[in-house]
Amino acid sequence: MPDRARPTAPRGLGKEGRKLWRQIQDAVAPDWELDERDERTLLAACQLEDRLAELDAAIAAEGLMVAGSRGQRVLHPAAQESRQVTLAQHKLLAGVELADPAAAHKREPMSSQRARRAAEARHGTRNGLQAVG
């Protein structure tokens, strides 16, 4: 299959979501294209990337530690939400088929390849908090 133009990011995505869309589309094997399920999964992951950018902005503006209900210092609620959103996003990205499973390396399970390629494509797309655990 000849090289083809990668689909443009869907409308409604923010800057970070569009950036992730392009990175993942660029990671798709040249002889492969995402099916509708993969594109919907990728869109959901990109929407979460925009959410992560919003959470990071809240933490940057207000600090990682904020005053709790009794004035005590507590972890910003956005930090906890960021961790949960990141975990959900990683699960979504691991489900995106970036290459033809029939052409996969025999030594590495396809799920590992998908997770690795999606993580490589996403690596460094945002600064700030990273997933823990």
Task: Please list the residues that pair with 75 across neighbouring strands.
Answer: 65
Helix (H) or strand (E) holding 65: strand 65-67
pTM of the model: 0.74
pLDDT in tens, 21-54: 999 999 999 989 999 999 999 999 999 999 999 9
